[in-house]
Structure 1
Amino acid sequence: MSRPSALDHTWTDGQLADAVQVSSNWRGVLRELGLNTTSAGTIRIVRRQVVQLGLDTSHFRGKRRWSDAQLKQATSESQSWDEVLSLLGLSANGGGMRTHVRSHAIRLGLDYSHLEAIPVVPEPRMFTTDLRHLRDAGACIAASWFTLCGCSVLFPIEPAAYDLVVGRADGLSRVQVKTTTYYGKDGWLAAIGRRPYSIRKDAPLMPYDPDVIDYFLIIDGDLNIYLIPSRVIAGRVQVLLRTYKKYIVGNAGGLLGASESGPDPQLGARASA
């Protein structure tokens, strides 16, 4: 003989309340009411009635060994997740048990802020800029300036006479980037020559062919940015930048947080071009 269906509604509200109180899961409630415990539809009907009556099901555990009520109590009485697990009879080393319990606490909307370790926020690392690194930073500063001008910037993947290719509406320009940290008696001096790759590093500088380079972008120790057409300084291997002030197009001094006192006359003794 088959058990009655929930559609028959053969129980009273009091019987349902008693069944909920003595059970630890929904199948237990069905069992107490003499209903088919394998019917998902029956469970839905009974759950709907329980909700309408406002019955407390926080003690239900499902397949868990602890109930919502026990988790609430353990959470309020503990100072760490390890204590919560211990009060629930669980092992702190039991795989993902801590994550499982914490996730359930989240679903229940429990306040567990007192269980969380206060993260140690490391002090921000202090970075110090130094003109000794200007040569390494030159191409990046140049690329950023051109980008802010609305140009596209390309870096050659093979060794070339130019450092950047700059694209704009009227075409492409080849740019050689130079930097200087040498401040002589007359101002910033920039070496703009080159040494062929096959020649030793102490060989004399040779000028760039103005038909191969369109512009020199030069950055001095004050981070002034000069954009000089190659034909203006064709044949030169060194220039005194104060004579090319009209070609200053910008300044990246904010990157250094530079002193308002101006360039250090002794810088030339500490660094060379």
Structure 2
Amino acid sequence: MTLAVPVGGKTFNSLRERAETIGLDYSHLYGNGQRRPIIAAVSDDRLRELVPRCRSWNHLASEIGYSNSRGGGWRDRLAERIKTLGLSTEHFRGRGFNGLVPFANEPEFTSEPTAERLRVAATGKAIAWFSERGYVVSLPVEPAVYDLIVDSRDRLDRVQVKSSTAASRRVNFSRTVYDNQHPGRVSTGYIRNAPYEPGEIDYFFVVLVDGSMYLLPYSVIGRRVSAIMGQRYEEFRV
């Protein structure tokens, strides 16, 4: 946990006094009274947890709270402790360096993929799948009801991308529409879910959280609002 509290300020001193009153150890926290974090405050168990999964010295330093430190010497002291624990840093990328000024070959993007981001990434995965096979992919201008236009050499196909993180492999094939003509509603209308109608799209491209993907002709799904990607759809798996 990180609190953006200036070292030495009233809030900082109040928090430190409160921690001491209730007997909490705050020596592992950056800003515990030192202008630079203390190597000794990082426990052996914490290093055993972090070193195998970190990708670089920069990544490791950030995980243990050194992201704001530019002081020298920390890496050598930390490397000595890691060596004593019998841990390997052979998998680290980038050059070893003193301080955290990044080098050109030091990886900056160390976050892991999460299921919550699949919805954002699914369209990119679909574009990559078609592009790797030589098909030209275009993005339609809003308010098109489909996500992609794919040039399959002899025609243009409209593709709607769908994703699902459900363990059941259930995919929602409906779309959100704005309807201001519905009887009994106020003049501003309302939003509702509706199926895709024949003639609106040609294919569904489905991306599941386990990495599996499906290319389904519209006729296979039709006006269904959901379906489970089980054995029934295995022939459409790509």
- TM-score scaled by length of structure 2: 0.50
- TM-score scaled by length of structure 1: 0.44
- Compare the two structures and name the one with the higher helix fraction: 1
Indicate the structure (1 or 2) with the bigger Cα radius of gyration: 1
